[in-house]
Amino acid sequence: MDKQPYTVGDEDINEKVGHIESRVLKYVRMIREAIKKRKRVKFNLCVYEYRDQKVRLTAYGKQGLVLTEPEIPDKYKKNVHRVVSPFEVIYSNGRYYMLGVDGKTEKNLDLKYKLYRVDLMDDLTINLKDRDGTTKEDAGIQGELENLYKYRMENPYMFTGKVETVRIRVDADQLTQIVDWFSDDFEVIGSIHKESDTFDTANVAAYDIDVKVNLNSFTFWVLQYSGCVEVIERKGNNSYRKHIKDTLKKALERYED
């Protein structure tokens, strides 16, 4: 596909081949195979960097970017590969994500899984001779991942976190945006009306809505629709509304000359 970065590390890729897309689909198939066989996968997780006047996909290890120049210390070239037990593959907002656990997460009582973007993976293999991987049943989250459609509704953007009910006020003429993202899985609590002598749906200015979402993910959604959406719950000094307000203040400070 056109307009994609086709440089992986120091290897230049012919853009006519569609390297990024074909690799992603190959990795999705391999991850699903590993899930069926209860095996772990091993891969490099990469980030994009700008180097030598090109955008490159470069492995990111425990010590940071893993470059290939000879002067880079050996410690930056080690511990690059990640080994993960995959639970599911989810397609969201035009990208594939793998949900799974690494060894550190398996011992974490709070974080039950991590999310990895498949398009940022490189050198992925299935550890067929390794011990069996952890399953979502082992992790006790099979219920959470049983309905992937609902999971996507609760996570408009792919972030880990707890799902909670949040109350928002949305402009009536933007209700379509709510349905687009959350289907009908929300509850209208009330409505705000325009000043008028008659009552009909055309006089509704806004709706108060309860929706169940992952707040870490929902923050980016609220910022995206801040022109027509308001978080209205005010529970204490550390409320979610205050969090959104503080985030908006920090964003505004970037534009104050």
Query: Which domain, by its residues, includes 192?
Result: 163-253
Asked if the structure places residue 153 within a domain, the reply is no
Asked if the structure places residue 155 within a domain, the reply is no
Mark whether 141 and 42 lie in a shared domain.
yes
Contact (CB, 8 A) for 1 and 18: yes
Please determine, for residue 13, whether its predicted confidence score (pLDDT) is greater than 60.
Answer: no
Q: Judge residue 11's burial from the number of C-beta atoms within 10 Å of its C-beta, 0-12 exposed, 13-18 middle, 19 or more buried.
A: exposed
Distant-in-sequence, close-in-space partners of 245: CB < 8 Å, separation ≥ 6: none
Give the pLDDT band of residue 20 (cuts 50, 70, 90): low
Give the pLDDT confidence score for residue 90 in this predicted structure.
92
Mark whether 168 and 88 lie in a shared domain.
no
Mark whether 19 and 78 lie in a shared domain.
yes
Instruction: Write down the pTM of the prediction.
Output: 0.76
**Whole-angstrom Cα distance, residue 82 to residue 8?**
18
**Total domains in the fold of the chain:** 2
Name the most confidently modeled range: 7-11, 96-100, 195-199.
Answer: 96-100
Among residues 146, 172, 189, which one ends one of the domains?
146
Please determine, for residue 77, whether its predicted confidence score (pLDDT) is greater than 80.
Answer: no
Mark whether 12 and 134 lie in a shared domain.
yes
Quote the mean pLDDT of the chain.
82
